[in-house]
Amino acid sequence: MNKHFLNKRLAHLLGFLGLVPFVLLTLACWLVHPSWLGDFIKGQLAYGIAILSFLGGMHWGATMVSGDLSVEQTKRALVWSVMPALIAWLATMVGGFGFAVLMAGFIVAYQVDKHLFAWYRMPDWLLRLRFNLTCVAVGALALTVTAANVRG
């Protein structure tokens, strides 16, 4: 089997499996007894924080193995690589605005990926995958906030 096909297939599988907690936690926020709602909201925030932090790690790793980046590109990519974790941490510090910070973080991370993935010579399908994953993650976070406001 072609290595690139396997990587693409596995990346899609794992990426979409990574959405399962977002989707299940969102559904739970709409379906559980209101006394449990807070626990599921906290779980969604925690999972979003973990995943946003992971997105920065992709850049750290890509920068370390890429021999084609200029010194300036390397600096920019490494600085960016720690930003998603810092944005995710900020989401824990802003009270009721944590979900807004996370959603903005996911959107900004995707916008940065559009530029940096070209530097790393990532395949085009990866950016399309990132777009789809970002849309579902942000949508799930938004629906969780809506559930909190409607049901909480």
Q: Is there a domain that residue 147 lies in?
A: yes
121 φ/ψ sector (left φ>0, alpha ψ -120 to 50, else beta): left
Q: Is 77 within 8 Å of 69 (Cβ atoms)?
A: yes
Cβ contacts of residue 75 below 8 Å, gap of 6+?
Answer: none
CA pair distance 83, 109, nearest whole angstrom: 9
Q: Tokens standing for 68?
A: 């084609």
| Structural domain for 42, as ranges | 16-151
**Could you tell me if residue 113 is inside a domain?**
yes
Q: Higher confidence at residue 112 or residue 2?
A: 112
CB atoms within 10 A of CB 71: 7
**So what's the pLDDT on residue 152?**
78
85 in a domain, yes or no? yes
pLDDT tens for each residue of 50-88? 999 999 999 999 999 988 999 999 999 999 999 999 999
Q: Is residue 7 a part of any domain in this protein?
A: no
Asked if residue 3 belongs to a domain, the reply is no
Is this prediction's pTM over 0.75? yes
Indicate whether 36 belongs to any domain: yes
Residue 25 forms part of a structural domain: yes
Confirm whether 9 is domain-assigned. no
Instruction: Write the pLDDT tens digit of every residue in 7-57.
Output: 999 999 999 999 999 999 999 999 999 999 999 999 999 999 999 999 999
User: CA–CA separation, 73 vs 78, rounded Å?
Assistant: 8
pLDDT exceeds 80 at position 3: no
